[in-house]
Chains A and B, each alone.
Chain A
Amino acid sequence: MTHNGTRLGRIAAYAILGIATLAALFPIYWTLLTSLRTRVAIFETPPRLFGGELTLDNYRTVFADGQFQASLIITIVVTVLATLIAVVSGSFAAYAIARRPRFRTRRPFEGMMILVRAMPGIVIAVPLFQIVVGLGLYDQPIVLAITYAAINLPFAVWLMVGFISGIPVELEESARVDGASQFRILRSIILPLVAPGLAATTIFVALLCWNEFLMPLILADQAGKTLPVYIAGFVTSRTIEYGAMAAAASLAIIPIAIVTLLVQRQLVRGLSLGAVKD
């Protein structure tokens, strides 16, 4: 549905797009700018919207005690593990759901997916904390990975069901007639065809894991201090260092901004998922 519209309509549309884009990008710009400013410049009134002397001092402050680097590594490890677990188990479940319309545990499984997607994390976190501490597993990155994988499972399953359903079932049937084993069908027929979808799912789930805050806040301390927990520390400390806070926030958002620009289409698909049918 595209309409040509009048000249006036076009101008109005561009005005709306322009204002909205400015509103979307300004906070990002301002954070980056603040992160590059000196303490004096940050407190300047009235605020200067651009220019001024720039410095990397705030980044030096952030890097100084090594915690940022440690948190970065922890976050990468936990994100990779969690994404792997979620995408692999989600893909298998999705295959069953996409290919077998009826089976006994289908409805409860789908009910669980909705429950997990809709329930606040804190509801699980309170008793999960008891379990984790009781088992002596507090502050273990692997526990974080498993937890992230479970709470993001619905996204992996729903995305993969969409992708697998798109593969004609006749391809599998003819292979089966030719005597291919189930394993062989998965490896040689499904996997190559679903690879782009698998990539999209992986990227989306990884992003969600990267951003997760509540679970590491509750289930971990030092060994599992992920980036969101680390940067949250900048507001709870007694003296707020605005420059360092902006630098930490910038370091957290720069990789996401880059990823967004590179793989936007895949992310869009994940975002509107479970909300609208394909």
Chain B
Amino acid sequence: MSSQQEPPPGQVRRYTAAYLSPGWLLLLGVVILPLLLGLWISFRNGSLLTPTSEFVGLENYRDLLTSSAFWDSVKVTLIISILSLAIQLPLGLLLAIVVNRELRGTRFFRSSLLMPLLLTPVAVGLMWRLMMNVDNGVIDGTLEMFGLPAIDWLGDRTMAVVSVVIVDSWQNIAFVMLLMLAGLQALPVSPLEAAQVDGANTFQKYRHVILPLLAPVALVVVMIRIIESVKLFDIIYILTGGGPGTATQNLSLLDYRLGFTFLETSRAAALGVIITLLMFPLYRLWKKANP
């Protein structure tokens, strides 16, 4: 269009490089160097208890990949991903559909629904610990009021996983709702009009037109929720600390415990490398979703 008005290419290249340099500097110091150092540490037998370390090759990787702790935490991470998707995908979609109707008062409802999403995760963990606690929690208190048995939300191995999923969902359903809402608002009008002309009822319109069109958004939600389940740290740390035992220890928590509870730096670094590699398909998927 206006190529003759562009500044000389030398100048352009110079300022492009200059503009990216603060960003690269940050990434270099906080991300790239640590990742490289992590890779190097992972081939040694360093720990915070001993000052020296030596090269041990792939020993840390072998130990990790043959340990039940690693596979248990992979399992916990997957279970949390699947359960939270099973709750958040349908409920997030339902809320998006309802909010999208723009009934009177929607602004108030939407603000209220968004609030959990923005709260400090640590505070969210505390709030739910308060409510789920078995001595005087309001949830068990209410259950007992109706003659129902109290539930040991955080002390029982199965319920602890469910509790983590409940709290994670409480905080993040609004995120799914926002993505679905954006998807609904970006729907092309013509297929909907065609359905209208064909006399489709609301249910049929959703079943045969809207939901299929929302599939790409749902895929993005699935991808992000899996990533977030691996990253999930604050809420688990506060709510259960990964327990009881290792019942809620996802990959992030296991890595934290290896590095900073058991002080096995090299093994923690090796797990970090494994996590980074495990997530590679997800990075690629993300890149595809945002060309």
Contacts and interface: CB of A to CB of B under 8 A. Distances in A.
Nearest to A232: B122
B256 interface: yes
B105 to A, nearest CB: 8
A28 to B, nearest CB: 7
Given A93-B23, A120-B255, A245-B130, A253 B170 contact: no
Contact of A146 (B26, B126, B272): B26
Contacts of B125: 232, 235
Contact of A127 (B109, B112, B118, B272): B272
A118 B19 contact: no
B242 interface: no
Contacts of A63: none
Interface residues of A, number: 107
A248 B238 CA distance: 14
Interface in B88-102: 91, 94-95, 98-102
Nearest to A33: B138
Interface of B: 2, 5-7, 11-13, 15-20, 22-27, 29-35, 37-38, 41, 91, 94-95, 98-103, 105-106, 108-131, 133, 135-136, 138, 141-142, 144-145, 170, 174-175, 178-179, 182-185, 187, 189, 192, 202, 217, 220-221, 224, 227, 230-231, 233-234, 237-238, 251-252, 255-256, 259-260, 265, 268-269, 272, 275-276, 279, 282-283, 286-287, 289-290
Interface string A207-251: 100110110001000000001110110110000001001101100
A51 B18 CA distance: 61
B287 A111 contact: yes
Given A13-B98, A31-B127, A105 B24 contact: yes
Contact of A261 (B111, B119, B265, B269): B111
Given A3-B101, A24-B116, A114-B286, A272 B138 contact: no
Interface of A: 1-3, 5, 9-10, 13-14, 16-17, 20-21, 23-25, 27-28, 30-31, 34, 42-47, 49, 85-86, 88-90, 92-93, 95-96, 100, 103, 105, 109-112, 114-131, 146-147, 149-151, 153, 157, 170, 173, 176-177, 182, 207, 210-211, 213-214, 218, 227-229, 231-232, 234-235, 242, 245-246, 248-249, 252-253, 256-257, 259-261, 264, 267-268, 271-272, 274-277
